[in-house]
Amino acid sequence: MEERQGQFYISSPPQSDFTRKVNRRAGITDLKQRAHGSRSWIKIDQDGNSEIVTLDKATIMRHCSLPSRDLRLLDPKFIYPSSILGREMAIVVNLEQIRCIITADEVILMNSLDGTVGRYRSQLCNRLRREKSDDLPFEFRALELALELTCTSLDAQVNELELEIYPVLDELASSISTLLLERVRRFKGHLLALTQRVQKVRDEIEHLMDDDGDMAEMCLTEKRRRSDASLSNDCFQTRSSTGRVISKSAPTSPERSVSGLQMLPRALSGFANSSKYGSSTGSSDNEERIQPLEMLLEAYFIVIDNTLNTLSSLKEYIDDTEDFLNIKLGPSFFTLSFTGKYSKPPNKV
């Protein structure tokens, strides 16, 4: 124990070089585990079966062909604005509490105790089991539910705020008090934050609707079907070294099988480019393929746009109340900035 200027400190015993190395290695290992650590996910297949799995970042990147920056959008440690990204083999969805990766045959949902995540899991499983003959591809059905729950949740929050703030504003117009001003100030902060969230979801849907290339990227089932058909045609039309066309019944050599697998990334990449930029002969076919997705996005754009209009009306009502009170009391005696402070006009002599 050491004494310094009347204060006592417990001195720690000196560490050996071996102890310092062990602690340093343990710290590096802990950082690596946190950077590449596994997380709990919910995997939902096409038949509506779900299971909780533990997957690390590298496994998901390999399985879904996603870059690291896309997975960062799903990290619960960070708060990113809502986004929907169409990739070569997956759709990355970050909508409020719903963070998932949608492929052509499964959904990998970030596991969470939030009620929205639980509703998404249960409702998607029920729909997949009950409506197996739905015309929409699997990825569109999974995306539709994510949009539905997000828009419903935001609209419910707006309605709740609306029910709370209108009576307070009406009361404030008739009798001003510091308590009412403080409540309205908090409501304005909540209104601003909620407006930004709703606006971001609306902008994301609008951006997708305006870009046929992005919508074509999200047609995962069609992209897989076309790539499989392209690979099949390439394999059957490949000629042997003697110039003879290999028939469907002829056995393929190991070398031929390997080359077929190697052609898969090129075929997927080629289809992605063609779906994004298109050709003169395939432009009409591209429009036909994205039409169901465009109609789906348009339906939820109308919903979220109506929610945003409700928020705009609420903000206008607050501004009108502010103008009314400024006129009623005079700008020199009262400024309604909702800071929670109120100065009464001086008494006239």
Q: How many CB atoms lie within 10 A of CB 69?
A: 9
Q: What is the mean pLDDT of the chain?
A: 77
Chosen domain end from 261, 282, 303? 282
Task: Check residue 56 and give its pLDDT.
Answer: 92
Does some domain include residue 214?
no
Does some domain include residue 194?
no
Rounded Cα distance, 132 and 134, in Å: 6
Greater confidence, 12 or 55? 55
Full residue range of the structural domain in which residue 23 is found: 2-28
pLDDT one-digit tens code per residue, 262-308: 434 443 444 444 444 444 445 666 788 899 999 999 999 999 999 99
pLDDT at 67 over 90: yes
Task: Check residue 224 and give its pLDDT.
Answer: 86
pLDDT at 260 over 50: no
Does some domain include residue 276?
yes
Average pLDDT, stretch 55-60?
93
What is the SS3 assignment for 53? Answer: strand
Average pLDDT, stretch 2-29?
46
Task: Check residue 145 and give its pLDDT.
Answer: 97
Chosen domain end from 282, 303, 329? 282
Q: How many CB atoms lie within 10 A of CB 217?
A: 21
Does some domain include residue 248?
yes
Rounded Cα distance, 320 and 84, in Å: 36
Task: Check residue 233 and give its pLDDT.
Answer: 60
pLDDT one-digit tens code per residue, 158-212: 999 999 999 999 998 888 888 888 899 999 999 999 999 999 999 999 999 999 9
**Dihedral-angle region of residue 177 (phi above 0 means left; psi in -120 to 50 means alpha; beta otherwise):** beta
| DSSP sequence for 88-117 | SS-EEEEETTEEEEE-SSEEEEEP-S-HHH
Q: How many CB atoms lie within 10 A of CB 282?
A: 13
Chosen domain end from 282, 314, 335? 282
Does some domain include residue 150?
no
Task: Check residue 228 and give its pLDDT.
Answer: 72
Does some domain include residue 16?
yes
Does some domain include residue 346?
no
Average pLDDT, stretch 88-114?
94
Does some domain include residue 247?
yes
Average pLDDT, stretch 318-332?
79
The number of helix segments (H) and strand segments (E) in the chain equals 10, 8
Domain count of the fold of the chain: 2
H or E element in which residue 346 lies: none
Task: Please calculate the CA angle 173-177-180 and round it to the nearest 5 degrees.
Answer: 75
pLDDT one-digit tens code per residue, 239-248: 444 455 444 4
